[in-house]
Chain A
Amino acid sequence: MLVKAKKSFLQRFYLVEVIKGLGITMRNMLFAPKVTIQYPEERRKYSERFRGMHYVKATNGVENCTACMLCPTVCPAECIHIVAGERPDKEKYPVQFEIDVLRCCFCGMCEEACPKDAIKLSTIYEMSQVTRQVYDKDYLAEQRGNK
């Protein structure tokens, strides 16, 4: 249904309304706080739960991962490739731990599935590279967050 808004004579004359509008834009220009984030100097603070670049958490310099294969199983993008091996003390560990980050959809399912608190998504979001990189074990071993 078309409802016609009732307008007073002054409103129909437009000119007064135009001047009011000009006042609004001028007020915004001069006094309103600006929302722009000056990117390289200042950065947006993301929530701690932000799902950014991956890392494998380590305790005393040894990765938590036991190569249980839960994360490659749950991964919807099938981007985690783990080859399991055995340490001299019979502990299972990942010989190879690769994340094809170009396929990753950052859903965070791996992080949820992990029973050992090993695979983590940090708050880092600047992930551009000049090569098509696959994150290998050494790269992921870098501790990138406090989660």
Chain B
Amino acid sequence: MLESMSLFHLLTFLKFAVILVIILSVAPVMAWVERRGSALMQNRLGPNRIGPLGLFQSICDAIKFLFKEDPIPGHVSKFYYALAPVVSLVPAFMTFAVVPFASTIEVDGRVLGFQLADLNVGLLYVFSVASLGVYGIIMGGWSSNNKFALLGGLRSSSQMISYELSLGLSVIGIIMAFSSVHLGEIVQGQAEVFRQIGPFVLPEWLQVPKWGILVQPLGFIIFITAAFAETNRLPFDLPEGESEIVAGYHLEYGAMKFSMFMMAEYINMFVASSLIATLYFGGYHGLHWVLNLVPLEGMSREWMRIALELGAFFLKVAFFMWFFVWVRWTLPRFRYDQVMELGWKVMLPISLANIFLTAFAVYYGWI
């Protein structure tokens, strides 16, 4: 068995396993961060009983979810009802295939990359897969055969479509600036030096890495706002709303099926955070200066570099995960018409304007 498999396949399986473990551990950790973070912001303490700082609370929750009865209501369309949580969860996992966690390393003449699939259409793949996530929600809302659930699914579909436009358009700026849709190349491009703001050349001591946020400040604001809407997080969590449509699309779901929707939400957050880090905050760059502080030579230095890159990437991702939680407990939610107004009347024109501005800058060689 092992002999027939090439080393490439073995490595891919290994990477797949590691990434899967990382992704699966995101949901429980984020559930804990969310609960403790919200509690602290509201001057409470939150779950702090089980394990150090209450960290094992999520494990208890998971065990409870696993052992709960998993009833299927009589009035639902059974096949699609059971399929919906899977459909919302799987695309969330799939997006990670192209995210580069670190740059490549050469081991015994072989180049080892820290991403599952080095696709040359990286960003297009991300968007095509990410847009599949909404089908799970619509399917859940539709198959539940419940008015509230259907309304939740409808809301989420219109919201996702409205904001996917500005999400996609805001990224075009990045693609233009780094002239690539390949995520690895975009990250490599961000290692270059940011020389000038518009026509003004920066002095030598002010030259910082050319991170996406410096090249595309407007695009970044649009992207992060649209990412909030895409992940159905507050202030855009319209698909659920206790006072209006009860629990929305997952109203009829319980036990593990419900927790799969929850996991999909957190994993989507993870995807959005890693995309923000990759596209706008230099991906795995940022900690390389530590290499000059430690006296390491040869291979150990290379592995140190990889470790620093992984560290930098996950630090950035962790910050944006926290940012998602932070924003959720800061901002009140929008009304539905306000969401649509923001999406179509504000975000869309601005993201189109951003493309023109970027084209202008690229034409004059400012970027």
Residues of A within 8 A of B (CB): 15, 18, 21-22, 24-26, 28-29, 32-36, 38
Contacts and interface: CB of A to CB of B under 8 A. Distances in A.
Given A18-B327, A29-B41, A34-B40, 5 more contacts: A25-B326, A26-B41, A26-B326, A32-B43, A36-B45
B366 interface: no
A26 B41 CA distance: 7
Interface in B177-203: none
Contacts of A34: 40, 43-45
B330 A24 contact: yes
A21 B330 contact: yes
B43 A25 contact: no
Q: Which 8 A-B pairs have the closest CB atoms?
A: A36-B45, A29-B40, A25-B330, A25-B41, A21-B330, A29-B41, A32-B43, A36-B44
Contacts of A32: 43
B158 interface: no
B221 A28 contact: no
Interface in B6-45: 37, 39-45
Most chain A CB inside 10 Å of its own CB: which residue of B42, B221, B327, B330: B330
27 contacts: A15-B221, A18-B327, A18-B330, A21-B330, A22-B326, A22-B327, A22-B330, A24-B330, A25-B41, A25-B326, A25-B330, A26-B41, A26-B326, A28-B40, A28-B43, A29-B37, A29-B40, A29-B41, A33-B43, A34-B43, A34-B44, A34-B45, A35-B43, A35-B44, A36-B39, A36-B45, A38-B45
A107 B9 CA distance: 75
A25 B221 contact: no
A36 to B, nearest CB: 4
Interface of B: 37, 39-45, 221, 326-327, 329-331
Most chain B CB inside 10 Å of its own CB: which residue of A15, A24, A29, A35: A29
Nearest to B42: A28
Contacts of B326: 22, 25-26
Contacts of B330: 18, 21-22, 24-25
Most chain A CB inside 10 Å of its own CB: which residue of B37, B221, B331: B331
B159 to A, nearest CB: 18
A25 B329 contact: yes
A22 B323 CA distance: 9
Contacts of B40: 28-29, 34
Contacts, number: 35
A79 B351 CA distance: 72
B106 to A, nearest CB: 43
A34 B44 CA distance: 5
Contacts of A25: 41, 326, 329-330
Contacts of A38: 45
A30 to B, nearest CB: 8
B256 to A, nearest CB: 31
A22 B331 CA distance: 8
Most chain B CB inside 10 Å of its own CB: which residue of A22, A25, A28, A35: A25
A66 to B, nearest CB: 49
A38 B162 CA distance: 46
B331 A21 contact: yes
Contacts of A28: 40-43
A58 B60 CA distance: 49
Nearest to A22: B330
A108 to B, nearest CB: 32
A24 B37 CA distance: 14
Nearest to B36: A29
Contacts of A21: 330-331
A21 B44 CA distance: 18
Contacts of A29: 37, 40-41
A48 B329 CA distance: 38
Contacts of B44: 34-36
A24 B41 CA distance: 9
A28 B41 CA distance: 5
A4 to B, nearest CB: 15
B5 to A, nearest CB: 49
A114 to B, nearest CB: 41
A24 B332 CA distance: 14
Contacts of A33: 43
Contacts of A36: 39, 44-45
A20 to B, nearest CB: 10
A15 B221 CA distance: 9
Contacts of A22: 326-327, 330
B42 A18 contact: no
A62 to B, nearest CB: 46
A22 B44 CA distance: 18
B347 to A, nearest CB: 12
